[in-house]
Amino acid sequence: MKILGIETSCDETSMAVLEVDEKKKVKVLANVISSQVKIHAKYGGVYPALAAREHAKNIDKVLKLTLKEAGLKSVEEIDLIAVTKGPGLAVALIVGITFAKTLAWKYKKSIVGVNHLEGHIYSNWLPLQDSNSGLLTLDSRLFPALCLIVSGGHTELVLMKGHGKYKILGETQDDAAGEAFDKIARMLELGYPGGPLISQEAEKFGKSGIPPTLDPRLFAREFSSGCIPDLPRPMINSKNFDFSFSGLKTAVLYLVRKLVQQYPIAEIRPAVAYEAQQAIVDVLVSKTLRAAKDYQVKSVLLSGGVSANQLLRETLEKKISEELKEVNFFKPLMAYTTDNAAMIALAGYFNYAKSKEKTDFSWKSVAVDANLRI
């Protein structure tokens, strides 16, 4: 069975073709991502109307490229279309959905609407493109699983009892983790998207400590321990599994405002980025471990754009192996951490396989749901 995935919920126009055989082995035949990051960078975030216009401009080209990469001549050879129906920017989602529905109608194909967050969860089971590794790990012995979904729009801890069976344990009360990275990057005049740029700066601090041009005594006065600024870890000790990152963002804002009076911004960036990244990772890891223990899960699945963060990947893996020896830890391959259509195709396949007899998969069945929850 060949599945065409279509994703336009934010600023990537992406299409993928997945092949699933009778033994449920999955192969990624194509995964094309046309990113608008450069276009949005000057606004410091995603500009919705512009995102929609770019999706509309590129979507046809992305389909052609995807079919070519997958070695297919036409959509005729596809068995199922899977498209993101939400959550995301309504104006951007509409472009992908309208395109997908038109293909489903024209070629008389089944179509399934996919929750973008469910797509992120399934990114954990995607093999490298063109490799043959299968769905071997997609096994009932993994459940209950705890999913930490961390992206630009979401920060959620979700208990997954089986395929399609989810319960939200906690979520952010304000900014998402990725949004915090993006906003802190903007305060440090680093650009967009902020996550990778903050990590790069943090690494400089890790290597060199205080920049040599600064007087360490002066610098240390602003920073409490070991010349690293002391930032809050919001809600790290709260009893629930919710998150909040707006207080951290405000603390960074005040710290940066104070420091730039004395130092050039380029010189304070590494230390501030180091501590801000550490604060976000500390909160995410601490709450995930506590939820994993409380709910006695068999596995932990990391996903979403922020799952590309090396410190988060490594810290979570290390803590789980130290404190929860029986628990399996999964993280998506780097290629599938940020938005992509391969994950949408895989989640779509599972939704379709689960209820193909009972559900309407005609082009009329899919509609935008910008605020969809998992």
The residue ranges that bind Zn ion (CB under 5 A) are: 151, 339
- What one-character DSSP code corresponds to residue 128? P
Considering the rule CB under 6 A, would residue 308 count as an interface residue with ligand KG4? yes
**The one segment of 145-153, 230-238, 287-295, 366-374 that binds ligand KG4 by CB under 6 A:** 145-153
Least distance from Zn ion to the Cβ atom of residue 108, Å: 30
Binding partner at 170 among ligand KG4, Zn ion, none, C-beta below 5 to 8 Å by kind:
none
Return the SS3 of 129: coil
**The one segment of 58-66, 131-139, 194-202, 358-366 that binds ligand KG4 by CB under 6 A:** 194-202
Rank residues 25 and 186 by Cβ distance to ligand KG4 and give the closer one: 186
Count the helix, strand and coil residues of the chain and give each as a percent rounded to the nearest 5: 45, 20, 35
Question: Own/partner pairs for 323-329, CB < 8 Å, 24+ apart?
Answer: 323/289, 323/293, 324/289, 324/292, 324/293, 324/300, 326/298, 327/292, 327/297, 327/298, 327/299, 327/300, 328/142, 328/298, 328/299, 328/300, 329/299, 329/300, 329/302
Considering the rule CB under 6 A, would residue 339 count as an interface residue with ligand KG4? yes
Considering the rule CB under 6 A, would residue 67 count as an interface residue with ligand KG4? no
Q: What are phi and psi of 162, to 5 degrees?
A: 175, -175
- Separation CA 111–CA 96 (nearest Å): 12
Of residues 319-338, those binding ligand KG4 (CB under 6 A): 338
Of residues 345-364, those binding ligand KG4 (CB under 6 A): none
* Residue 8 contacts residue 85 (beta carbons within 8 Å): no
Least distance from ligand KG4 to the Cβ atom of residue 202, Å: 10
Least distance from ligand KG4 to the Cβ atom of residue 157, Å: 16
Least distance from Zn ion to the Cβ atom of residue 316, Å: 18
Considering the rule CB under 6 A, would residue 256 count as an interface residue with ligand KG4? no
Considering the rule CB under 6 A, would residue 196 count as an interface residue with ligand KG4? yes
String marking each residue 198-237 x if it binds ligand KG4 according to CB under 6 A: -x--------------------------------------
225 contacts: CB under 8 Å, gap ≥ 6? none
Of residues 151-180, those binding ligand KG4 (CB under 6 A): 151-153, 178-179
Rank residues 67 and 198 by Cβ distance to ligand KG4 and give the closer one: 198
82 contacts: CB under 8 Å, gap ≥ 6? 3, 4, 5, 6, 111, 112, 114, 344, 345, 347, 348, 349, 351, 352
Q: In this chain, which of 54, 156, 182, 275 binds ligand KG4, going by CB under 6 A?
A: 182
Mode of pairing for the β-strands spanning 299-303 and 145-150: parallel
Least distance from Zn ion to the Cβ atom of residue 23, Å: 30
How many residues bind to ligand KG4 according to rule CB under 6 A? 20
Q: Which two tokens stand for residue 235?
A: 């809600």
Mode of pairing for the β-strands spanning 155-162 and 145-150: antiparallel
Q: Which two tokens stand for residue 15?
A: 């299409």
Residues forming contacts to ligand KG4 in the complex (CB under 6 A) are: 10, 151-153, 178-179, 181-182, 193-196, 199, 304-306, 308-309, 338-339
